[in-house]
Structure 1
Amino acid sequence: MYEVRVTADFAAAHFLKDYNGKCENLHGHNYKVYAHVRGNRLDEGGMLLDFTKLKSVLRGVCAELDHTNLNDMPVFKQNPSAERIAKYIFDAIIERELLSGEDLRKGEGKTSVWLQAVDVFETDTSRARYMPDDLPE
């Protein structure tokens, strides 16, 4: 099994509506995001997936979140936790890859690749990961 990972970042504000503590106040983070793709076959060039393509998609998703108040996005239901942000980014990568002709959900095609997980770091020591429970073996 092979795995590749790319990184992007964004800065955004948020608060947690249903939280009792300092995070219930508006504050910001410099988020770091990792996207993990895995598969069991390489293409003719010896690559699982072109880093440039995956980085471009991930950076595009992160650019839409950059310098925003995440609470303004209905998808987060006023509670943009790192866990919800990770799932949002995962889903957005899948959506964009489908639009470009590759399906990272099913691992079908020439190299059998799929998006395995998205990690969102609020700080260097605090990470949330979204990974679907129906990953291929």
Structure 2
Amino acid sequence: MFEIRVEADFAAAHFLSDYHGKCERLHGHNYLVHAHARGETLDSGGMLVDFGVLKKALRDVCAALDHSNLNDMAAFDRNPSAERIAAYIFIELKSMLPEVPLYAVDVWETPTSRARYIG
């Protein structure tokens, strides 16, 4: 099994409507995002996926989220948790690159807190 990973980042604000604690107030994160592709076969050039292709798509998805209030996006149902952000990015990447064997997306809110969506 082969696996590759690319990363991108974005900064955004959010709050969690159904959370009781400090995260229910508007705050921001510098998110780090990892996209993983996994598969058993390589192309004729010996690659699972061209890093550049996956990295560009990930950067494009992250750019659409950058410097925004994520609560304003209907996709997050008023609660843009790291889990929902990871799922959103995965779905967007898969729609942009259906031929890529996308496996998972990780969203890091802090260096010690990560959510993963596995497709």
* Fold match (TM-score > 0.5): yes
Q: Does 1:124 align with 2:114?
A: no
Distance 2:75 2:56 in 1: 23
Q: Mark the runs of 5 or more structure 2 residues left unpaired by the alignment.
A: none
Identity over aligned pairs, percent: 66
Q: Deviations over 1:83-115 (max 9, x none)?
A: 0000000000011114xxxx23xxxxxxxxx11
Deviation at 1:46, TM superposition (A): 1.1
User: Which of structure 1's runs of 4+ aligned residues deviate more than 4 A?
Assistant: none
Aligned residues: 119
Aligned partner of residue 85 in structure 1, secondary structure: helix
- 1:31 maps to 31
What letter is aligned with 1:115? L
Distance 1:74 1:23 in 2: 19
Q: Mark the runs of 5 or more structure 1 residues left unpaired by the alignment.
A: 105-113, 133-137
Aligned partner of residue 71 in structure 2, secondary structure: helix
TM-score normalised to structure 1 length: 0.85
- When the two chains are superposed, the root-mean-square deviation of aligned CA atoms in Å is 0.7
Q: Deviations over 1:17-52 (max 9, x none)?
A: 000000000000000000000111111211111000
TM-score normalised to structure 2 length: 0.98
- 2:11 maps to 11
What letter is aligned with 1:8? A
Aligned partner of residue 29 in structure 2, secondary structure: strand
